[in-house]
Amino acid sequence: MKRVLVCGAGGFIGHHLVQRLKAEGAWVRGADLKYPGYSASGADEFVLGDLRNQTFVGELFDQPFDEIYQLAADMGGAGYIFTGEHDADVMRNSALINLNVLDTASQTGCRRIFYSSSACIYPEYNQLDPDNPNCAEDSAYPAAPDSEYGWEKLFSERLYLSYARNYGMQVRIARFHNIFGPQGSWNDGKEKAPAALCRKVAEAEDGAAIEIWGDGQQTRSFLYIDDCLEAVLRLMRSDWTGPVNIGSEEMVSINLLADMIAAIAGKALGKRHVPGAAGVRGRNSDNRLIREKLDWEPTLPLHAGLAKTYAWVSQQVSAAQFGIAAE
Ligand code: NAD
Ligand code: GDD
């Protein structure tokens, strides 16, 4: 039986990944500062602890793991990473986690490790035109990410690649482009645009207006969690190191994203554009490399993923309003 360690198993992607690995029959140990927020972990063992702490990480690696997924990070949506308030925490916390986990894996002979990097590593100068961003993998240098979060991800990509070159680690690196779905942050200050706008739409009376940060003409693409997991597993089990984009090429403006969610909710809503953390003007996944190397494409259109996500977020909103627990 395959033995797997998931770091960040209490988080959005880590929690879903544990469920997927269990469904495949693996034995899974999860580690995180916290338990998953909305349903019990499916992990065989869930260890609470701080991955910044070397002693804790040493204890986690008390056995050989066939696969390690490193998803733990200090991260959030635009309202968390682009305000500048959390820069030092984000860089210190995530760098310490990566240094500890990777080095301990290497020293204990656990060779195969997945690292979750981000589209935020791409240079701001290629993401100024909302209609024509360039996020091809080979456009990462000369480096100019627009956030310290992006710089830490780029540093850690290089850290993992150096362990591959010097210590024979089997490293796999993905650059995620805005992953969304049920059981992600939706109201804790770390929520990204899909969940945030689902919440605002769910809370709004028909005919009211919801707040959008910026002019809403900034563009993004969003990948549904199930498609993300399929790509992660294909990458991990391939002989391709990456870094490679894992995202959708269905680029939309944030205004259109809000309209799609309002239509799903069956509400006629206006928009009030307000100042807010905006990040880059345009971003879209470029999937040419992953198509070529892994023969992978997203399967779920944005609208279908939003419908599933809206159903879950609106349930959370109703439960919070009535003071009852939601799933
Ligand atoms: P998340 O915040 O839901 O999960 C991260 C988890 O890491 C959290 O549960 C958190 O408690 C845990 N963690 C943080 N510090 C820790 C510490 N010191 N010790 C132990 N656990 C700690 O985020 P997510 O959306 O699941 O993202 C997973 C990974 O993918 C992260 O590395 C993130 O940067 C990356 N990523 C995600 C997206 C996205 O759109 N979700 C996009 C790009 C990159
Ligand atoms: N979060 C949020 N909430 N964003 C909003 C809102 C709102 O209410 N209204 C408008 N936006 C706009 C933001 O200003 C930003 O321009 C855009 O929607 C997308 O915001 P997010 O989804 O929060 O983040 P992002 O796409 O800029 O960055 C995210 O994706 C990266 C990978 O692609 C972050 O989660 C990063 O951590 C991640 O690495």
pLDDT tens digits for range 182-220 = 999 999 999 999 999 999 999 999 999 999 999 999 999
pLDDT at 321: 87
74 belongs to a structural domain = yes
Q: Is ligand 1 within 6 A of the CB of residue 11?
A: yes
CA 238 to ligand 1 centroid distance, Å: 23
Residue 40 has pLDDT above 90, yes or no: yes
Tokens 């482009």 — which residue?
177
pLDDT at 325: 64
Q: What is the pLDDT of residues 45-61, one digit of tens each?
A: 999 999 999 999 999 99
pLDDT at 29: 98
CA 124 to ligand 2 centroid distance, Å: 15
Q: Is ligand 1 within 6 A of the CB of residue 32?
A: yes
Q: Is ligand 2 within 6 A of the CB of residue 192?
A: yes
Residue 326 has pLDDT above 80, yes or no: no
Q: What is the pLDDT of residues 246-257, one digit of tens each?
A: 999 999 999 999
Regarding an ipTM greater than 0.90, the answer is yes
148 belongs to a structural domain = yes
CA 217 to ligand 1 centroid distance, Å: 27
Percent of the chain residues past pLDDT 70, beyond the cut: 99
324 belongs to a structural domain = no
Residue 64 has pLDDT above 80, yes or no: yes
φ, ψ (nearest 5 deg) of residue 70: -105, 95
| Euclidean distance between CA atoms 195 and 315, whole angstroms | 12
Residue 16 has pLDDT above 70, yes or no: yes
Active site residues: 149
212 belongs to a structural domain = no
CA 74 to ligand 1 centroid distance, Å: 6
Q: Is ligand 2 within 6 A of the CB of residue 154?
A: no
Domain that holds residue 109: 3-179+224-246
Nearest CA to ligand 2 atom 16: 278
Q: Which of 80, 210, 254, 273 to mutate to test the pocket of ligand 2 (most atoms within 8 A of CB)?
A: 254
91 belongs to a structural domain = yes
281 belongs to a structural domain = no
Residue 140 has pLDDT above 80, yes or no: yes
203 belongs to a structural domain = no
Reported confidence tier of residue 109, pLDDT bands at 50, 70, 90: very high
Q: What is the pLDDT of residues 150-178, one digit of tens each?
A: 999 999 999 999 999 999 999 999 999 99
**Average of per-residue pLDDT values in the chain:** 97
Q: Is ligand 1 within 6 A of the CB of residue 61?
A: no
| Euclidean distance between CA atoms 171 and 106, whole angstroms | 11
Residue 114 has pLDDT above 70, yes or no: yes
Reported confidence tier of residue 99, pLDDT bands at 50, 70, 90: very high
Residue 322 has pLDDT above 90, yes or no: no
CA 113 to ligand 2 centroid distance, Å: 27
pLDDT at 242: 87
Helix (H, G, I), strand (E, B) or coil at 213: strand
| Euclidean distance between CA atoms 282 and 293, whole angstroms | 26
| Euclidean distance between CA atoms 29 and 41, whole angstroms | 10
Q: What are the Cα distances from residue 258, in Å, to 41, 193, 306?
A: 31, 9, 10
Q: Is ligand 2 within 6 A of the CB of residue 77?
A: yes
> What is the domain count for the chain?
1
Reported confidence tier of residue 317, pLDDT bands at 50, 70, 90: very high
Nearest CA to ligand 2 atom 18: 193
CATH number of the domain bearing residue 21: 3.40.50.720
